[in-house]
Chain A
């Protein structure tokens, strides 16, 4: 589970902070949406590392937490729109799990705002790009994930 490269760039000033985002995107909608953004040559920031999953409902919170503890600045979970899940209701379940994960992180000083859940369909390349832009902007405001420098995990 060596997901997030956490080597630090020497001499980086806070203004240069480039957040690293792990994205877990559902095969049927959000991943295809990201693909569409690419094939349509829609520009979005290169801060995102995409992992394709079969359904947002298959994302155990453990994977979200692992990414955060390993130093990822943000985690984006993308699923199908309401009613569109190819496994009937995985996206709704994912929404609840993410709400819990955010609450746990908030309670323990790890900032739940680093975890985003979005409905993005296969035809929404533009929305995908926009989401990444927004997320990068917000993470720049929040700043680097303090877990990056911690080893007592």
Chain B
């Protein structure tokens, strides 16, 4: 059962900062992980705040993600911390964090998960170009709350364009603004209820357009996602196109570093078996007459698809990190979805669901 609360304060900034400060001051949590504007006022970056006075410019609505907060939140749970932290996460970040928990690389026990409504984000470079704090928020409260992409000069990242989850599920609290007249906090779990209990905020009914608007958005997005992935599959379902698409890969491994779910601490591709002696390169080149350099780029992407495709949450951080601008997020979304279908698995959907690659059934997948 969800309950909505109105926050104290004048504008969006005061309401949000006031509420986060209260969480720290009332010792409901020891720390807050939230995006904040930098001092220059030109970029929004993730911050870990313990001193409530330093919560001056929190802004989880500003449409930019430099690094998946799932990775950061997981790091906050490393080595059995005593501290409790409230972590502000977009839907893709919540789902990635749930997958990390299943991989035993995150412990949600001492985290208060605060989901944030999200209509999509842009890359940091595009964000720095696009707007000031005021302009963004004006657009947000005029168009964003109606479910329309609010920025005129820049499009959302391709992964966001086909995201099915504008409002994150599986959280304790939700910062709701889609279909809301102002920023509201929605409590959706017992832990969330408990966190809100001592704050004595005014409870309000769910804003009437919200549920319908979210439903409409999800339906539109699903249609767009299916169409986009279908087009992508039709094009890249042929080897020629696949190779053409991945040809500019420079094997920088940025995609695997940016991926919140590439879980190996040391990637096999960065280890000694891919540091080929020159004799090997010459032998391979002699055999075919020609090889592409650097080697193993196609093998790298296909292997990553095999390792991670079942857990890919379609956050698109891989694509944002790619210097060659390869459409890797669409590749993972398109192929990942068909892998997940084998096991009727949806990454991040349910904390109790087992990872497809960590379990098995006695009888399945026959005939082989």
B339 within 8 A of A: yes
B237 within 8 A of A: yes
A residues within 8 A CB of B238?
109
Q: Using an 8 Å CB-CB cutoff, how does the interface string of B65-91 with A read, 1 for contact, 0 for none?
A: 000000000000000000000000000
Closest B residue to A91 using CB positions = B360
**What is the number of residues of chain A that contact chain B, defined by CB distance less than 8 Å?**
38
B298 within 8 A of A: yes
Nearest-Cβ distance from residue A151 to partner chain B, whole angstroms: 5
A residues within 8 A CB of B292?
151-153
Nearest-Cβ distance from residue A148 to partner chain B, whole angstroms: 9
A99 within 8 A of B: yes
Q: Is the beta-carbon distance between A92 and B360 smaller than 8 angstroms?
A: yes
Q: Using an 8 Å CB-CB cutoff, how does the interface string of A56-68 with B read, 1 for contact, 0 for none?
A: 0000111001100
Q: Is the beta-carbon distance between B360 and A104 smaller than 8 angstroms?
A: no
B residues within 8 A CB of A65?
299, 302-303, 306
**A 48-82 contacts with B by CB, 8 A:** 60-62, 65-66, 69, 82
Q: Is the beta-carbon distance between A146 and B303 smaller than 8 angstroms?
A: no
B15 within 8 A of A: no
A147 within 8 A of B: yes
Q: Is the beta-carbon distance between B302 and A109 smaller than 8 angstroms?
A: no
Q: Is the beta-carbon distance between B342 and A103 smaller than 8 angstroms?
A: yes
B198 within 8 A of A: no
B residues within 8 A CB of A96?
343, 356-357, 360, 365
Given contacts A61-B303, A108-B335, whether A99 and B342 have CB atoms under 8 Å apart is yes
B309 within 8 A of A: yes
Q: Is the beta-carbon distance between B237 and A108 smaller than 8 angstroms?
A: yes
Given contacts A93-B360, A95-B360, A118-B368, whether A62 and B342 have CB atoms under 8 Å apart is no
Q: Using an 8 Å CB-CB cutoff, how does the interface string of B303-320 with A read, 1 for contact, 0 for none?
A: 101110110000000000
B residues within 8 A CB of A92?
360-362
- A residues adjacent to B (C-beta < 8 A): 1-2, 5-7, 60-62, 65-66, 69, 82-83, 89, 92-93, 95-101, 103-104, 107-110, 116-118, 146-147, 150-153
6 contacts between A and B (CB under 8 A): A62-B306, A65-B303, A65-B306, A95-B365, A100-B342, A110-B239
Apart from A108-B236, A153-B299, list 5 A-B contacts with CB within 8 A.
A7-B287, A62-B299, A104-B306, A107-B338, A108-B242
